[in-house]
Chain A
Amino acid sequence: MTLLHEKTRRALPLPASSGCVDRPVLKERGQQEVFCGLTGIMWLHRKIQDAFFLIVGSRTCAHLMQSAAGVMIFAEPRFGTAIMEERDLAGLADMNDELDSVVEKLLARRPDIRLLFLVGSCPSEVIKLDLDRAAQRLSQIHSPQVRILNYSGSGIETTFTQGEDACLAALVPLLPPEPDSAPAALMVVGALADVVEDQFGRLFDQLGIGPVRFLPARLADDMPPVGPNTLILLAQPFLTDTVRALEERGATLIQAPYPLGADGTTAWLKAAADAFNVDAETFETVTQAPRKRAERAVGLHRENLQGKRVFFFPDSQLEIPLARFLGNELGMSALEVGTPYLDKRLMAHDIAALPEEVTISEGQHVDKQMDRCRAARPDIAVCGLGLANPLEVEGITTKWSIELVFTPIQGYEQAGDLAELFARPLNRRTRLEV
Chain B
Amino acid sequence: MQLTLWTYEGPPHVGAMRIATAMQDLHYVLHAPQGDTYADLLFTMIERRQKRPPVTYTTFQARDLGSDTSELFMDAARDAEARFKPSAMIVGASCTGELIQDDPGGLSKTLGLPIPVVPLELPSYSKKENWGAAETFYQLVRTLAPHGPEAEKAADAAPSCNILGPTALGFRHRDDVTEIVGLLEAMGIHVNVVAPLDAEVRDLLALRQADFNVVLYPEIANPAAQWLKRSFRQPFTKTVPIGVNATKDFIREVADLAGLDEDSALALAQSRLPWYSRSIDSTYLTGKRVFLFGDATHVIAMARVAETEMGFKVVGLGTYSREFARDVRDAAKLYDCDALITDDYLEVEAQIQALQPEMVLGTQMERHIAKRLGIPCAVISAPVHVQDYPARYSPVMGFEGANVLFDTLVHPLTMGLEEHLLHMFRDDFEFNDAAGPSHLAHGTVPSPVSEQDNAAPVHDQATAVTPEDQDEIIWLGDAEKELKKIPFFVRGKARRNTEKYAAERGLAEISMETLYEAKSHFSR
Q: A72-B6, A123-B95 are in contact. Are A390 and B44 (CB under 8 A)?
A: yes
Taking a contact as CB atoms under 8 Å apart, the answer to whether B33 and A413 are in contact is no
Q: A154-B33, A156-B62 are in contact. Are A385 and B44 (CB under 8 A)?
A: yes
Kindly list chain A residues whose C-beta atoms are within 8 Å of the C-beta of B11. 58-60, 63
How many Å lie between the Cα of A159 and that of B372 in the bound state?
A: 34
B57, CB-defined interface residue at 8 Å: yes
User: Which segment of B122-130, B172-180, B278-286 sits at the interface?
Assistant: B122-130
Taking a contact as CB atoms under 8 Å apart, the answer to whether B10 and A387 are in contact is no
Taking a contact as CB atoms under 8 Å apart, the answer to whether A58 and B517 are in contact is no
Q: Which A-chain residue is minimally distant from B34 (CB atoms)?
A: A32
**Interchain nearest-CB distance for B79 vs A (Å):** 8
Taking a contact as CB atoms under 8 Å apart, the answer to whether A35 and B35 are in contact is yes
How many Å lie between the Cα of A38 and that of B38 in the bound state?
A: 11
A122, CB-defined interface residue at 8 Å: yes
Interface of A is mostly: helix
Taking a contact as CB atoms under 8 Å apart, the answer to whether A123 and B45 are in contact is no
Taking a contact as CB atoms under 8 Å apart, the answer to whether B45 and A389 are in contact is yes
Q: A62-B7, A81-B4, A296-B520 are in contact. Are A195 and B485 (CB under 8 A)?
A: yes
Taking a contact as CB atoms under 8 Å apart, the answer to whether A36 and B35 are in contact is yes
Cβ contact of A386, chosen from B3, B33, B38, cutoff 8 A: B38
Taking a contact as CB atoms under 8 Å apart, the answer to whether B2 and A58 are in contact is no
Kindly list chain A residues whose C-beta atoms are within 8 Å of the C-beta of B49. 389
Kindly list chain B residues whose C-beta atoms are within 8 Å of the C-beta of A420. 523-524
B380, CB-defined interface residue at 8 Å: no
Taking a contact as CB atoms under 8 Å apart, the answer to whether B6 and A126 are in contact is no
Q: A58-B11, A62-B7, A85-B2 are in contact. Are A155 and B36 (CB under 8 A)?
A: yes
How many Å lie between the Cα of A66 and that of B343 in the bound state?
A: 15
Taking a contact as CB atoms under 8 Å apart, the answer to whether B124 and A72 are in contact is no
How many Å lie between the Cα of A157 and that of B59 in the bound state?
A: 11
How many Å lie between the Cα of A115 and that of B519 in the bound state?
A: 36
How many Å lie between the Cα of A289 and that of B511 in the bound state?
A: 15
How many Å lie between the Cα of A194 and that of B482 in the bound state?
A: 10
How many Å lie between the Cα of A420 and that of B523 in the bound state?
A: 8
Taking a contact as CB atoms under 8 Å apart, the answer to whether B35 and A38 are in contact is yes
Q: A58-B124, A155-B33, A367-B83 are in contact. Are A83 and B99 (CB under 8 A)?
A: no
How many Å lie between the Cα of A65 and that of B523 in the bound state?
A: 33
Taking a contact as CB atoms under 8 Å apart, the answer to whether A156 and B33 are in contact is yes
Q: Which B-chain residue is minimally distant from A408 (CB atoms)?
A: B487
A433, CB-defined interface residue at 8 Å: no
Cβ contact of B38, chosen from A59, A67, A125, A300, cutoff 8 A: A67
Taking a contact as CB atoms under 8 Å apart, the answer to whether A387 and B59 are in contact is no
Kindly list chain A residues whose C-beta atoms are within 8 Å of the C-beta of B517. 293
Q: Which A-chain residue is minimally distant from B33 (CB atoms)?
A: A155
Taking a contact as CB atoms under 8 Å apart, the answer to whether A67 and B39 are in contact is yes
Q: Which A-chain residue is minimally distant from B60 (CB atoms)?
A: A156
Q: Which B-chain residue is minimally distant from A157 (CB atoms)?
A: B62
Taking a contact as CB atoms under 8 Å apart, the answer to whether A123 and B96 are in contact is yes
Cβ contact of A83, chosen from B1, B44, B58, B123, cutoff 8 A: B1
**Most chain B C-beta atoms within 10 Å of own C-beta, residue among A31, A71, A198:** A31
B276, CB-defined interface residue at 8 Å: no
Kindly list chain B residues whose C-beta atoms are within 8 Å of the C-beta of A155. 33-36, 59, 96
**Interchain nearest-CB distance for B86 vs A (Å):** 14
B51, CB-defined interface residue at 8 Å: yes
B288, CB-defined interface residue at 8 Å: no
Taking a contact as CB atoms under 8 Å apart, the answer to whether A33 and B44 are in contact is no
Q: Which A-chain residue is minimally distant from B41 (CB atoms)?
A: A385
A428, CB-defined interface residue at 8 Å: no
Chain B positions 354 through 375: 1 when the CB is less than 8 Å from some CB of chain A, otherwise 0:
0000000000110010001000
Kindly list chain A residues whose C-beta atoms are within 8 Å of the C-beta of B7. 59, 62-63, 66
B50, CB-defined interface residue at 8 Å: yes
Taking a contact as CB atoms under 8 Å apart, the answer to whether A157 and B485 are in contact is no
Cβ contact of B99, chosen from A32, A79, A126, cutoff 8 A: A126
Taking a contact as CB atoms under 8 Å apart, the answer to whether B50 and A393 are in contact is yes
How many Å lie between the Cα of A94 and that of B318 in the bound state?
A: 32
A residues with a Cβ closer than 8 A to B are: 30-39, 58-64, 66-68, 71-73, 75-77, 79-86, 88-89, 95, 98-99, 102, 105-106, 122-123, 125-127, 154-157, 159, 194-195, 198, 289-290, 293-294, 296-297, 300-301, 367, 384-390, 393, 413, 416-417, 420
The list of the 5 closest CB pairs from A to B, nearest first, reads A36-B35, A155-B35, A386-B40, A155-B33, A416-B523
Between-chain CB contacts (< 8 Å), 8 pairs: A67-B39, A71-B385, A83-B1, A86-B123, A98-B1, A154-B33, A155-B96, A388-B45
Q: A67-B39, A72-B6, A194-B485 are in contact. List 5 more A-B contacts (CB 8 A).
A: A58-B95, A154-B33, A195-B486, A385-B41, A386-B40
